[in-house]
Copies of this chain bind each other. A is one copy, B any other.
Amino acid sequence: MAARGVAASFSAGYCAFGDEQGAPGVAGEAYPTYSRADIKARCGGASTWVTYKDGVYDITEFINAHPGGAQKIKLAAGGSVEPFWRIYRQHLEQQAGVMDLLAPMRVGTLSAEDYASETCAAKTVDADDPYGDEPERHPALIVHGATPMNAESPPALLGDTYLTPNDLWYVRNHHPVPRLKGDAHEVALALASSPERGTSLAVGDLKSKFPRTEVTATMQCSGNRRGHMNQYGTTSGTAWGCGAASTATWAGVPLRDLVGETLNLGAAPLAAAKKLGLRHAIFEAADDMQASIPLEKALGELGDVLVAYEMNGAPIPRDHGGPLRVVVPGYAGVRNVKWVNRIVLSADTAVGAWERGMNYKAMPSHWRSKADLKGVDFAALPSIHELPTQCAFSAPAAGDAVDSDDESFEARGWALGSAGRAVHRVEVSADGGATWTEASLDAGTDQPYGRAWAWTTWSCDLPIPAGPEPLTLLARAADLGGGAMPRTPEDVWNIRGLNNNSWHTVTLGRTVSAEEEE
């Protein structure tokens, strides 16, 4: 099955549409005024309020009738629906029908002060605050830390479109987001062995002077699912759920072609560079971060490493490395350096914390505490590069419940092979592993051999086991390399919480129908 695309990217901010007419309501009716804080306070428990423009709506009764599902509409609780409608564009394309549904639910008006402060015009940049010029972010992102921004994609939305809308992509920054010069931003290209061959190209040159090449790849923080590891033992780092992963179609220039042509390495740049004693490609970023990858990946004919200027058909947003980032399919997010301004082919790896420090080093499970790290030569440990086979649910999520009257329910998710290998099987259990159901593989199954850089989405109907107990859901995937994902976080645990690819586990409750309650 072919990959399903997203219609477009969304560069607009998350402010309300301040320049349009007022929000729909019942004609002639006068509404009480609420602040944003009032509205947020009304949410939770049995009640859900949202806003559209300056209208306040009580959608409590509508939630279970929402064609997109209750889980998704609840993401807007207390806030504006508009950022979500930009993702789920059918709301805008069929606006008249949507408004007919919405208007009768109106219960109030957003205070003029809050409405104004939420418009773009109200935003000011504080020049003294290093984080004063951050991009606006979608309210559905799950923010783990804001300075620097570390936010994961809402897992429930990851399964909706094969390509993750740019606004919903996970964000993992190390510093404030640089503001660069768009097409005028320059990237230097150099050979450590022959400085005289160096050159520099603007993003505009990359667009106009080289053929545009597309690569569809899932990117994943090496700490994705660290939070699940913490259930076994405390790790250090952001406690990501399973949403530090997203997929895009990137466009740009293959690094192999770029250095082959501009640094006179010819049509077989890998062999040529290795003859010069070079072994790594170092990527330096405008935020002073740097990382490197081996030349076999950087310049190999099947590595598909891209110097990218486009993400899902739009210029790369600032949060995701715009105007220029490196895309290293199959490698940890940290090697996909954002805001790249220099690429050096070198005999050595990059320097600095991201390549040589402890943060991205592979450590064994038997190092259980910081005491075990005493005297460790971190430089001698390998850095995290390629990621292992992964599998995660997008729905249901922890805290959801199945209906006790139903015989089965739908589970959905994604899986990603290691080393570019295709995922050929996903197995899901609703009874803690006693029985397994093979999921249908939906999108992403037609990727080229050894270059399956993007996830495969899956879905299945799972029988609901008898009994009153909560359900223990498990999901595991197999790629073409054999082996198996580890059963529990214990088997892959490490003090830095990297590379958790244990079976994804979700516990579900059971709802009791009204009749039974009586």
Q: Which residues of A pack against B, CB within 8 Å?
A: 222, 267-268, 270-271, 279, 294-297, 300-302, 362, 364-366, 381-382, 384-389, 418-419, 421-422, 424-425, 427, 435-436, 438, 448-451, 478, 480-487, 491-492, 498-499, 501
Interchain CA distance A480-B449 in the complex, whole Å: 21
Q: Are A481 and B418 in contact (CB under 8 A)?
A: yes
Q: 13 pairs across A/B with beta carbons < 8 Å?
A: A271-B301, A362-B425, A364-B427, A365-B484, A366-B436, A366-B438, A387-B481, A387-B482, A418-B418, A418-B481, A419-B419, A484-B501, A486-B491
The answer on a CB contact under 8 Å between B485 and A296 is no
Within 8 Å by CB of A362, from B382, B389, B478, lies: B478
Cα-based distance from A268 to B481 in the complex (angstroms): 26
- B366–A427 CB distance below 8 A: yes
Report the nearest B residue to A498, measured CB to CB: B482
What is the copy number of this chain in the assembly? 2
A427 shortest CB reach to chain B, Å: 6
- Minimum C-beta distance from A419 to chain B (A): 4
Question: Which residues of chain B have C-beta atoms less than 8 A from A478's C-beta?
Answer: 362, 364
Min C-beta distance of A432 to chain B, whole Å: 14
**Contacting residue for A386 out of B270, B294, B421, B436, CB 8 A:** B421
Assess the A385–B302 pair: CB atoms within 8 A: no
With A300-B301, A419-B481 given, name 9 new contacts (CB 8 A).
Answer: A296-B451, A365-B427, A366-B438, A386-B480, A386-B481, A418-B482, A419-B421, A482-B501, A486-B487
CB within 8 A of A301: which of B301, B382, B384, B422?
Answer: B301
Task: Give CA–CA (A324, B387) in the complex, Å.
Answer: 37
A491 closest partner in B (C-beta):
B484
Q: How far is the CA of A222 from the CA of B481 in the complex (A)?
A: 11
The listed residue (B301, B435, B480) touching A366 by CB distance below 8 A is B435
Bound-state CA distance A491–B427 (Å) is 12
Which of B271, B301, B366, B491 is in CB contact (< 8 Å) with A270? B301
Q: Is the CB of A296 within 8 A of B362?
A: no
Q: CA A440 – CA B297 in complex, angstroms?
A: 28
Contact indicator A294/B449 (Cβ below 8 Å): yes
The residues of B that contact A267 with a CB separation of less than 8 Å are: 267-268
Closest B residue, CB atoms, query A295? B449
For A330, the closest partner residue in chain B by CB is B481
Contact B389 A483 (CB under 8 A): yes
Which B residues are in CB contact (< 8 Å) with A449? 279, 294-296
- In the complex, A427→B366 CA distance in Å? 9
Q: Nearest-CB distance from A271 to chain B (Å)? A: 8
Cα distance A485–B365 in the bound complex, in angstroms: 12
Give the distance in Å from the alpha carbon of A268 to the alpha carbon of B256 in the complex: 14
Kindly state the separation between the CA atoms of A481 and B222 in the bound complex, as whole angstroms: 11
- Whether the pair A483, B485 counts as a contact (CB closer than 8 A) is yes
Given the known inter-chain contacts A425-B362, A427-B366, A450-B294, please indicate yes or no for A492 contacting B484, CB distance below 8 A: yes
In the bound assembly, the distance between CA atoms of A382 and B485 in angstroms comes to: 18
Task: Give A301 to B387 CA distance when docked, in angstroms.
Answer: 22
CB distance from A424 to the nearest CB of B (A): 5
Shortest beta-carbon distance from A392 to chain B in Å = 15
- Complex Cα distance A2/B491, Å? 31
Contacts of A481 in B (CB 8 A): 386-388, 418-419
Inside 8 A of A419's CB, which chain B residues have their CB? Answer: 386, 418-419, 421, 481
- Most B C-beta atoms less than 10 A away, residue of A294, A389, A421, A491: A491
User: Taking the nearest CB of chain B, how far is it from the CB of A328, in angstroms?
Assistant: 13
Residues of B within 8 A of A499 (CB): 482-483
A384: chain B residues within 8 A (beta carbon): 482
